[in-house]
Chains A and B, each alone.
Chain A
């Protein structure tokens, strides 16, 4: 048998400290509701699917070569660029990253048009612009594959802390390339914002991009 609550009971309850957590929760809800429409979580508080670049770093412009001619980072001002350094001989981490980014673009629907994926090959000897074009198109027809001389690749990679080194392989593999396996998200103003590890979850990257788009 439950006792029916009377107005008097409620009045008494207001003074009852046992209800303090309830009041705190109501206050919290009120703040959340009135806070809607504004940014609820600031960048420093938000959890990203990759490592947040502290104080957005402007990425110096660079130009490398695609099968259709030269491509510069500045060509994509106004878009969210995912910059990935890898090589096509790499059997799973590189294609895995591209496959994830293709899924991210698909998941975003129309918003996906605001992103551009660029793979820079650190293995220009095997990855000619033609090889790269065919490779990245397998994942998404909008993806770009570019490369160049060591100097050109370094000009693009060094500001982002990209490391790569050729390591002798077997007779069959010839050589392998050790490389930084992160995809960098560069904002429409050309600042590096997030560095994604190769195993960053797809839905996390989608959520991040939606968050960035909502900030605009």
Chain B
């Protein structure tokens, strides 16, 4: 009995330790890569693209994000229908990130949408983006400000790994 409670205590400590470090971008094996902020143009909106790999072993979902200089942030998707580009807020306001899978938010598709952008950001500069997950909690990563276009379509030019 004593041994079991010791084990429970140990597990509790381990899980608490995991929680404490959840602001680190790689905790819980949720891997965040190619964080790009398309925020340089003088307009009311902007978007953030990111590649998320869920190695946590359990299904998760991106449920929101926070970034300075935006009136509101929504998760949007874009798709073509009969040659018409359509943009909508994602269903339920969240993007599922199933266990073991990689979900890419990228140009012409899923993106974190900044609405009511206060000012354009300088190309090449960095901005912190907090990603909110159902299970993994909040992960803050650094995004590089990029110009949109086909040069960045693959998400691998100008992309940056998180810096913490």
**B-binding residues in A (CB < 8 A):** 88-93, 95-97, 99-100, 103, 126, 134-135, 138-139, 163-165, 167, 169-173, 176, 178-182, 198-202
Contacts and interface: CB of A to CB of B under 8 A. Distances in A.
A126 B47 contact: no
B71 A92 contact: no
Contacts of B76: 91
Nearest to B40: A138
A180 to B, nearest CB: 6
Give the residue among B44, B116, B153 with the most A Cβ atoms within 10 A: B44
Given A103-B149, A202-B151, A180 B44 contact: no
B87 A180 contact: no
Contacts of A173: 72, 74, 89, 113, 115
Nearest to B146: A99
Contact of A91 (B47, B72, B120): B47
Interface of B: 38, 40-47, 71-72, 74, 76, 78, 80-89, 107-108, 111, 113-116, 120, 147-151, 153
Give the residue among B108, B148, B150 with the most A Cβ atoms within 10 A: B150
A92 B148 contact: yes
Contacts of B47: 91-92
Contacts, number: 109
A178 B77 CA distance: 12
Contacts of A171: 72
A135 B117 CA distance: 14
A138 B76 CA distance: 24
A-B pairs, top 6 by smallest CB distance, nearest first, are: A172-B72, A99-B149, A181-B85, A96-B148, A91-B47, A88-B43
Contacts of B116: 172
A5 B1 CA distance: 93
A88 B43 CA distance: 6
Contacts of A179: 84-85
A199 B120 contact: no
Give the residue among B40, B86, B111, B116 with the most A Cβ atoms within 10 A: B86
B151 A103 contact: yes
B35 to A, nearest CB: 15
Given A172-B71, A180-B85, A181-B80, A201 B150 contact: yes
Given A126-B44, A181-B83, 15 more contacts: A89-B44, A89-B45, A90-B85, A91-B87, A91-B111, A92-B107, A92-B108, A92-B111, A93-B78, A99-B149, A138-B42, A138-B120, A198-B108, A199-B108, A199-B150
Nearest to A202: B150
A201 B151 CA distance: 8
A198 B113 CA distance: 19
